[in-house]
Structure 1
Amino acid sequence: MTNAAAAIVPDWRISGMCGRFTLTVSIEELIDLFGIEQLTFEYHPRYNAAPGQMIATVIGHQGNKRMGQLRWGLIPSWSKDEKIGYQLINAKAETLEEKPSFRESYLRRRCVIPADGFYEWKNTENGKQPMRIMMKHKGAFAMAGLYDAWMSPDGRKIHSCAIITTSANALVGEIHDRMPVILRAGDIELWLNREIREASRLNGLLQPYPENEMFAYPVSPAVGNVKNDSPECIMPFGT
């Protein structure tokens, strides 16, 4: 992220958004999980992905699955200013059909953001403790997302995305009141099918993921700095 961008990005730990995640599994695991037929960038593990950065994203394209990169922070096609993206890193599942920023993308431009963990900050007597939340199988999973394309006045085209959030399950609820929408493996095909444009067929997917299939552990405060993107970020902390 540029210094200029960093200056206008709020602190998502305080604002209560899902604002950091990890993707450290092998590219082979991602290809197998999502059935990816086309890869459009050089994949590297991410230990502290943050808003404003380019992140791996899977999109359905003419019946195939393509994994490329989109900028995290959705800029609606009709927006006059790309800075709105820093306010639209998440989209609430409960209001997707109401919000002009997300309504059209929900029906026509859905994507999946691969991850193998996400961070939330837990209030403790010693201050805010970052926690990494994962699946018990420790593998990759699919966060539901939306995307759009925006053309700047000077001709730049920016493809961007947002992560959909829902109410927290019991595990995440001890840390935070929101969590990403995590899709079951069997629902990924439906979510990415661009021929499906009826909210009635999609709304049922936007549920909290079962807490008995997840776990959380404390990590280093180093994840609070977006400049830190190394294995240190995911090491257990204070145990």
Structure 2
Amino acid sequence: MCGRFALTATPEEVVEFFSTVSIDDFPQRYNIAPTQPILLVAAGDRPAPGSNQPARSSLLARWGLLPGWVKDPKEFPLLFNARAETAIEKASFRAAMRHRRVLVPASGYYEWHRPEKGGEQKPQAYWIRPKRGRLIALAGLLETFASADGSELDTAAILTTSANAGLAPVHERMPVVIDPQDFDRWLDCKTQEPRDVADLMRPAPDDLLEAVPVSDRVNSVANMGPDLQLAVVPENPPSRQEAAAGKDEAGQLSLF
């Protein structure tokens, strides 16, 4: 699951990492939540200078996908995540998987480790970021919802998959991360059908991300400062059994 993330890179860093012509105005945000605007990168219509590939473009969309066939958005659940294993088949995501795959720029995301059922311990928040300090590209889906009054709203969801060994002690799911070398293939909805990019919807490499325990201030969308990402001593770290799943070949935890 991915219910909160952050994008704190400069516009110049986003343009360079995603090879976009430009990006929509998007300030540093440390606590992005569903229903809020998020930045997306999509394939463009015109070739980039000196390339056969379309120049990538950017747009803003509401985080929470609304399929085109929805009649009343108030009666439809908030789809901010889509399971990669079933998105190709689900009516809510089928069209977007075929025609409107996008990238979601992120500096990292937040996840909560929830103690075993029956306990009184509260969930422990983690800031999950690239180990090497780079941006990451989350796999996204885009739908433009047209309301009865003729207005249109771009909406989006983030694809999730099973967690890799390093992050499984925190949570069993993680967002799909697209490698830069696969950007063109993921965004190419003209020649690459969903089955052609199914191999990209896999857990990220174990050495790509690290989980940093942070305070529960991130639980409130009203808190939006960089202090949300400061490391703390975890009150409720993963149990011995859960942590064992995150050990690397040397027998050391890759979680922290």
Fold equivalence (TM over 0.5):
yes
Q: After superposition, give the CA deviation of every residue in 1:65-118 in whole Å (9 maximum; x if it has no partner).
A: 111211000000111122466521111111112101101110110100010111
1:145-184 Cα deviation digits (max 9, x unpaired): 0001111112221100000000111122101111000011
Which runs of 5 or more residues in structure 2 are unaligned? 46-53, 235-256
Q: 2 CA distance for matches of 1:75 and 1:61?
A: 22
Q: Moved runs in structure 1, 4+ residues, more than 4 A?
A: none
- Counting only pairs closer than 5 Å after superposition, residues 1-239 of structure 1 correspond to structure 2 as 17-39=1-23, 41-62=24-45, 63-83=54-74, 86-124=77-115, 126-238=121-233
TM-score (norm 2): 0.82
Amino acid at match of 2:85: E
Contact 2:70 2:76 survives alignment (8 Å): no
State the distance in 1 between where 2:61 and 2:219 align. 22
Q: How many residues align?
A: 222
Residue ranges of structure 1 left out of the alignment (5+ in a row): 1-16
C-alpha distance 199-84 of structure 1, shift in aligned 2 (>3 A): farther
Task: Work out the CA distance in 2 between the residues paired with 1:171 and 1:198.
Answer: 31
RMSD: 1.6
Per the TM alignment, residue 126 of structure 1 is displaced from its structure 2 partner at its CA by 3.9
Structure 2 residue identity aligned to 1:79: V
Partner SS for 1:87: coil
Residues 85 and 70 of structure 1, relative CA distance in 2, 3 Å threshold: farther
Task: Select the structure that is richer in strand.
Answer: 1
Q: Which has the larger radius of gyration?
A: 2
Taking only the aligned residue pairs, the percentage that are identical comes to 38
**TM-score normalised by structure 1 residue count:** 0.88
